[in-house]
Structure 1
Amino acid sequence: MVYRMIFNQTAYFGRGAINEIPAAAKSRGFKKAFIVTDRVLVDNGTVKKVTDVLDAAGMPYVVFDDVQPNPPVENIQHGVEEFKKSGADFLIGLGGGSPQDTCKGIGIVVANPEFADVLSLEGVADTRHPSVPIFGVPTTAGTASETTINYVVTDTKNKRKFVAVDPHDIPILAFVDPDLTDGMPRSLKVATGLDALTHAIESVVTPGAWSLSDALSMQTIRMIAQNLAKSVDGDVDAGEQMAYASYITGMSYSNVGLGLVHGMAHPLGGQLGVAHGVANGILLAPVMEFNKAYSGEKYRDIADAFGVEGAYSRDLDAVRDDAVAAVAQLTKDLGNPTTISEVGATEDDLEALARDAYADVCTPGNPRKPTQQEIFELYRSLM
């Protein structure tokens, strides 16, 4: 078996990491930045923290703040038009998953104009050229888009989300600066934290997992179990650990894949507009239950990370149950919804949700291969 691992060329971590952006850009011969972000981050002053650094270094830039949540195809196409007019030679993806995914789409299409429809990028994209160089600057602690080879786009016409998987889209540099993640509202800390936990657990149990990916993902699970609840309550040191945890598991799941939680979460976002992390939080424990007999000894490690006593000495079935229960309890304690009816799903939605989840690019990475009917029943059990 041959394993492939793709990471950023360079990454910077710690408070004040964004101050390294100008020198990193100039050392690579870049002259002008095209910052991809959203209006919320402009209004709350986050974008200014980065542009102040660029201003001080005398580096010109253009701010593209038209990114929408669950970014649609048209968002990327608009960004491509604006980039071409800007005279910029590198991109800064500044934000959570939506700005960074939009940034990746822009960079890929500019470098590979034959994919201008964006829809043709779905799945393992057959691009020939690396993206316009991207600097990934996260403002949330969950998606890890700054270090992945994936991005998610919404096909609004057909009310669905799709994943593009492309080594050409990985940011060449990442700047993980907890000063930018401290200001997340509580609800966003919950959603992005549960997203990161889902990435870690799914990348541990997927059949593609191996020693290096397990080391990254299991460290993430431990960090999240210790820090997520505290970060949500405002502990800035715990929040800093969550920023790093998100990145660490991103290095894992980007390379070994995800599973049914993401396969089922994407249709909830595409059809019903449910925030991705919220959807993952609803689905994680139930899908862990669905998968537990197919997880080998991995749930022992997960249970131990959550502080379950006797994780390595007690009966495996009992430990698996405890691992599922620990994740379910954390989700409940954080106040995330636990049913899909709470986020607007009805019985009439279930057939279409199951169809799209079965076809999702993440679903084949699940350790237990579900049928479309089993996915339907899982959704129905969460009404």
Structure 2
Amino acid sequence: MPRPPRLVMLGSTIAISLLVGSVVWTTVTSGPAPWLRLDIAAAVVACTLVPVAVTWPVAGGLALAALAAVSPVATPAATFAAINAARQRPFPTAVAVAVAGLAGHALQGRWRPLTGLSYGWWLLLMAAAYAALLGWGTWARARQALVMSLRERARRAEAEQGRRVTEARIAERTRIAQEMHDVLAHRLSLLAVYAGALEYRPDSSPERLAAAAGVIRGGVHQALDELREVVTVLRQEPAGADPDSPPGPELRDVPRLVGEAREAGLTVSFEDRTDPNLAEAAVAPVTGRTAYRVVQEALTNARKHAAGQPVRVHLAGSPGGTLVVDVRNPLSYQLPELPGAGIGLVGLTERVSLAGGRLDHAVNVAGEFHLRAELPWRT
């Protein structure tokens, strides 16, 4: 056990000194005191030994037990040493200190018996007092150990949660980097095709050459925009990546995602208030993919944690403004059919943040789980 702080030691010394002083005063005022000098000396020694008992419970407790055999004024200090040993030391050691204190009082009762109370009853009362003090101190020690254990478990749980959140963020960044890698590889492969056509067909008409050059210029600009989005994402390239893999999902794939959820048995109402006349190129790929992932994660959570409940998916926005993805579903008070790690929303928040947007999720007043993402509509 750690050494008690100075404030505890000072408070214990003052309290026991007051008790010892009250016993000495009672002895003086009760009549002739043939042992007055011995009691005063024992009181001084007892008050001196209290800090020793606080710091070294066993040594101080044994010394005060021996002092209790000499004078009754040492009783408050000796009983304090017993309960303090029970609080700071294992139970067998505390029992030894308590037995020593009881033995000291047994010797005290032999050569300085109390008037009006037989020695047997007095010794029984002292044994009961020491047993109570021993039990109280042992309970306090067990409670302190339990509190420390709970604090340690809470600290470990917090550290574990922090580690899991960090891992989720890193995993989400890695997935985003992989998607961006796929998109850039796909776009650059198209540019290579057009550049190869220019190389091998220099005799093409000026119109075709101009059209191919325009496609290459536009593709380079788009590739630079994609690279600007991913430049802050750090990852390790996985082994076996296919540089010619197709691009990831986009905003136009959200209706297909909703249809797949309906086929899987989920009741989904879908409302799209974006401009239907806009071309897909009007939405930046990073914005479209992020919106797709928001809807995908929301539908996955609904299947896991709100099975059988209807889900409402709402899309709204326009170029130059904000793309809003709003998903709601009533809460289910049944146990989820599928286990979850509880970090999907952490990764989704990281993804939306990297796309320049904001993600909010909470339970609203209607008892629904509400997931809302706001993304800048980039073109």
Which of 1 and 2 has higher RCO (CA within 8 Å, sep 6+)? Answer: 1
> Relative to total residues, which structure has the larger helix share, 1 or 2?
2
Pick the TM interval, shorter chain.
under 0.3
TM-score, with structure 2 as normaliser: 0.21
